[in-house]
Amino acid sequence: MAFLKRSVLINKPTKEVFAAATDFSNSPEIMATVVEAKPITDGPVRKGYQFKEVREIRGRKAASIIEVTEYEPNESYAVRSDQHGIDLRYHYTFVETAEGTRVEFIGELDTKGLRNTLMKPLIKMIIKKEDADHLDKMKAWLEKNPS
């Protein structure tokens, strides 16, 4: 079930926005707590592609493996991180408009185990604080950089 939903209009062509969003080395520019993203899988981004993401949260670094679970070039993609009983999925859709590209985002969270189930409201709050504005950061970053 979705706990995060956002949409943003970026004044850039869809192909450029999609390419920047799926170049995960850009993650530190787009997501406030991400300090590093390195590929695990060789070759181009596609379904099954994996990368290691490192975040710095309250002065501590935490790494996770992110897998691309859906990939339709210039249209949509989804990623998933499933570790320590926390299953986090982010879905992105890209729609070309007369003004640029509308990016729609949905975040879903499932938990496993009693502890995580009880902590789910807190986990959601932390994730919202970290990632709720990442589309705004992506918009600002893309629009300030020339094509």
Helix (H, G, I), strand (E, B) or coil at 11: coil
For residue 26, give the DSSP letter: G
Residue 101 · residue 13 · CB < 8 Å? yes
Residue type, 39: P
Q: Is the dihedral of CA 84, 86, 91, 92 positive or negative?
A: negative
Dist. CA 68–CA 89, nearest whole Å = 10
pTM of this structure: 0.93
Residue type, 145: N
Residue range 38-59: average pLDDT? 94
**What average pLDDT is seen over the chain?**
94
Query: Per residue in 81-122, pLDDT tens?
Result: 998 899 999 999 999 999 999 999 999 999 999 998 899 999
Dist. CA 135–CA 17, nearest whole Å = 11
Q: Residue 108's closest CA among 127, 83, 95? A: 127
CATH code of 2-33+68-144, in short, is 3.30.530.20
For residue 109, give the DSSP letter: E
Domain ranges of the chain: 2-33+68-144
Does the pLDDT value for residue 58 go beyond 90? no
The torsion angle over the Cα atoms of residues 117, 123, 125 and 127, rounded to 10 degrees, is -140
**pLDDT of 21:** 96
